[in-house]
């Protein structure tokens, strides 16, 4: 079965150090594009996490967000942001020059200013396996969602293929009647002119007209493309690009059928075909 490129997955893992929460979501994209939002301490295993995603997904724009909440009884390490402290000191000195007999600037006043003291989020390596497990679980949930959505898309594409073949069969069945109508109209027009006509030449002209209006080849190619869609859907792999190409080919044949149409019913059938193909194309854009 085919897979959609849209899905969502979420996992939470409780560790001795705190709670890991991971969310992953994906939308359609030409290739596999994975973006990570990780706490700084987990950057060391970003490539490993990227490999986990690539092992399950072939296409899609994938966003992965990992957060870590430390246990409350484990205070985080802190450090002084020297650059921020220097900026604060300069600003306080500027304000002091505006005052008469200002009090000396105490270091404690600088320390209390926002951004001077920063918490250092240290992540011990023993948390890395938990992060890998969290991502694996979320990716599995995401892949399951994509598979279920893919099943619905598969059924929709199969139904549209059936509808295309039904329309094509109707056009094929009408071909003899269409050509007969053209012949009758041409003969009536000649009779109304009250002129002598060379029957052999008339037959030649009718044959030329019939050849120009013959859409048997287009109908054959439509059927062949539909069969290839069936084969592609049954391949059980990432087939989105292949399906997108087949939608272009189907649309090409529908356009040609419309341009060769000699009656309103065939024209309507060509329009209906284009509507069906466009519906398929919109869904195919989301196939992995």
Specify the higher pLDDT residue, 85 or 135.
135
Report the C-alpha gap between 12 and 18 in whole angstroms.
11
Asked if residue 205 has pLDDT above 80, the reply is no
The more confident residue out of 122 and 16 is 16
**Cα atoms in the Cβ-side hemisphere of radius 13 Å centred on 260:** 21
The HSE-up count of residue 118 (CA atoms within 13 Å, CB side) is: 12
Residue 105 above 70 pLDDT? yes
What's the confidence (pLDDT) of residue 17? 85
pLDDT band at 148 (very low <50, low <70, confident <90, very high): very high
Please state the CATH superfamily assignment of the domain spanning residues 7-72+127-146 in this structure: GHMP Kinase, N-terminal domain (3.30.230.70)
Between 222 and 102, name the one with better pLDDT: 222
* Domain boundaries, given as residue ranges, for the chain: 7-72+127-146, 77-120, 148-284
Q: Does domain 148-284 have CATH number 1.20.140?
A: yes
Q: Quick check: 261 pLDDT over 90?
A: no
Beta bridge partners of 37: 65
Question: What phi and psi values does residue 68 have, to the nearest 5 degrees?
Answer: -130, 120
* pLDDT exceeds 60 at position 217: yes
Question: What is the chain's mean pLDDT, rounded?
Answer: 87
Helices (H), 121-263: 128-193, 199-213, 216-233, 240-260
Do the domains 7-72+127-146 and 148-284 sit in the same CATH topology, yes or no? no
Neighbours of 59 (CB within 10 A): 20
Q: Note the pLDDT tens digit of each residue in 46-61.
A: 999 999 999 999 999 9
Local structure of 237: helix, strand or coil: coil
- State the pLDDT confidence band at 89, using cuts at 50, 70 and 90: confident
Name 235's bridge partners.
none
């Amino acid at each position: 079965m085919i897979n959609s490129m849209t899905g969502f997955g979420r996992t939470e893992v409780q560790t001795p150090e705190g709670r890991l929460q991971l969310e992953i979501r994906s939308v359609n994209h030409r290739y596999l594009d994975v973006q990570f939002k990780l706490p700084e301490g987990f950057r060391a295993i970003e490539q490993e996490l990227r490999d986990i995603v690539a092992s399950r997904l072939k296409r899609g724009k994938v966003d992965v967000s990992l957060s870590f909440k430390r246990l409350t009884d484990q205070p985080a390490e802190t450090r002084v942001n020297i650059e921020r402290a220097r900026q604060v000191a300069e600003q306080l000195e500027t304000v002091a020059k505006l005052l008469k007999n200002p009090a000396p600037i105490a270091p404690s006043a600088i320390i209390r200013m926002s951004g001077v003291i920063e918490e250092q989020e240290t992540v011990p390596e023993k948390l890395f396996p938990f992060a890998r497990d969290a991502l694996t679980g979320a990716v599995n949930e995401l892949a399951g969602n994509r598979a279920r959505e893919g099943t619905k898309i598969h059924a929709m594409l199969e139904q549209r293929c059936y509808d295309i073949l039904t329309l094509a069969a109707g056009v094929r069945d009408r071909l003899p009647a269409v050509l007969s109508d053209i012949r009758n109209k041409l003969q009536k027009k000649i009779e109304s002119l009250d002129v002598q006509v060379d029957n052999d030449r008339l037959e030649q002209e009718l044959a030329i007209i019939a050849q120009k209006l013959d859409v048997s080849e287009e109908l054959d190619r439509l059927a062949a493309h539909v069969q290839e869609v069936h084969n592609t859907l049954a391949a059980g792999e990432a087939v989105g690009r292949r399906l997108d190409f087949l939608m272009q080919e189907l649309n090409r044949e529908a356009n040609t059928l419309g341009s060769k149409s000699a009656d309103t019913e065939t024209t309507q059938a060509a329009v209906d075909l284009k509507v069906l193909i466009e519906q398929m194309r919109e869904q195919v854009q989301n196939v992995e």
